[in-house]
């Protein structure tokens, strides 16, 4: 059985006060949420500790949005895995397209970060996906297969989540057609040594399309940006039918 993982990626949004306010509204919407799904909030570094304390004993797991491959060192602006686990972080997003595009993340550094996360006991969420140009040129498969081949060298596939996030669908309202996301995710699965790795879809997932996305047989969850910032909206996504 593949695990269902619904994760919010807050990106660079929400102060601690805003995060705690979100939780007040969000937690009360989870009373009837089926047990079959894992709920994760991937939040800015400054929110990790307070959310983790507030959520202690709840079913909501905390995730970070980046992790360095060394356990400590002179790496200004980075964060080490033991710093995350110390405050109760369980998941970490690795290789998001925004990190690749704006901060020079490569498949090689993604690979180092994945291994460091796993070594510390974190579950990494590896993001892969193509640009609009790559899609139009018919290069989806070759691009994603290359991201997987380089990113997953020596990575433990029993302790991993993958997110298929077509870059053109992120933050645009232009969701990938669920059947097409299902097709690409099936292709991703065909390249894995462990077919039970949960594979999420990400890119303009909203309350009004989540049921159709989650009805696809290959799709095991969602990685949600904008629609995870508002409590009722993210609760509706977590409570997909």
Instruction: Please check whether residue 154 is in contact with residue 114, taking contact to mean a CB–CB distance below 8 angstroms.
Output: no
Active-site residue, selected from the candidate residues 38, 68, 96, 105: 96
Structure tokens given for 6: 């619904």
Is 96 designated active site?
Answer: yes
The CB-of-165 to ligand 13P minimum distance in angstroms stands at: 6
Residue 187 and residue 141 in contact, taking contact as beta carbons nearer than 8 Å:
yes
Query: C-beta of 17: minimal distance to ligand 13P in Å?
Result: 22
Q: What's the CA angle centered on 26, arms 20 and 32, to 5 degrees?
A: 150
CB closest to ligand 13P, residue no: 225
143 labelled catalytic: no
Verify binding: residue 63, ligand 13P, rule CB under 6 A: no
Q: Does 151 bind ligand 13P (CB under 6 A)?
A: no
Residue 82 vs 207, nearer CB to ligand 13P: 207
Beta strands in the chain (DSSP E): 4-9, 37-42, 60-64, 91-94, 123-128, 161-164, 199-202, 221-224
Q: How far is the CB of 225 from ligand 13P (least distance, A)?
A: 2
User: Which of 171, 191, 194, 215 lies at the binding interface for ligand 13P (CB under 6 A)?
Assistant: 171
Nearer to ligand 13P by C-beta: 70 or 208?
208
The CA distance from 6 to 41, in Å, is: 9
What is the C-alpha separation between 144 and 128, in angstroms, rounded? Answer: 6
Would you count residue 198 as binding ligand 13P (CB under 6 A)?
A: no
Task: Count Cα neighbours of 185 within 13 Å in the Cβ-side half-sphere.
Answer: 29
Count CA atoms within 13 Å of residue 20 on its CB side. Answer: 8
Measured from the CB atom, is 86 or 173 closer to ligand 13P?
173
User: Judged by CB under 6 A, does residue 130 bind ligand 13P?
Assistant: no
- Residues near ligand 13P, by CB under 6 A: 9, 96, 165, 170-171, 202-205, 223-227
As annotated, the active-site residues are: 96, 165
């Amino acid at each position: 059985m593949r695990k269902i993982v619904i994760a919010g990626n807050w990106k660079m949004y929400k102060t601690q006060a805003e995060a705690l306010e979100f939780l007040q509204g969000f937690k009360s919407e989870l009373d009837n949420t089926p047990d079959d799904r894992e709920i994760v909030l991937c939040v800015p570094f400054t929110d990790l500790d307070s959310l983790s304390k507030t959520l202690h004993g709840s079913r909501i797991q905390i995730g970070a949005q980046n992790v360095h491959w060394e356990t400590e060192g002179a790496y200004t602006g980075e964060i080490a895995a033991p710093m995350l686990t110390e405050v109760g972080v369980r998941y970490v997003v690795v290789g998001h397209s925004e990190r690749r595009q704006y901060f020079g993340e490569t498949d090689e550094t993604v690979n180092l970060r994945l291994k460091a996360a796993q070594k510390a006991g974190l579950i990494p969420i590896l993001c892969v996906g193509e640009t609009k140009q790559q899609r139009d040129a018919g290069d989806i498969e070759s691009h994603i297969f290359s991201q997987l081949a380089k990113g997953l060298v020596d990575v433990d596939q029993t302790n991993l989540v993958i997110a298929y996030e077509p870059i053109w669908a992120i933050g645009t309202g232009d969701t990938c057609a669920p059947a097409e996301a299902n097709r690409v995710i099936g292709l991703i699965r065909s390249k894995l040594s462990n077919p039970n790795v949960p594979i999420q879809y990400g890119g303009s997932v909203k309350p009004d399309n989540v049921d159709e996305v989650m009805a696809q047989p290959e799709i095991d969850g969602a990685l949600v940006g904008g629609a995870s910032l508002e409590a009722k909206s993210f609760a509706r996504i977590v409570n997909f039918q």
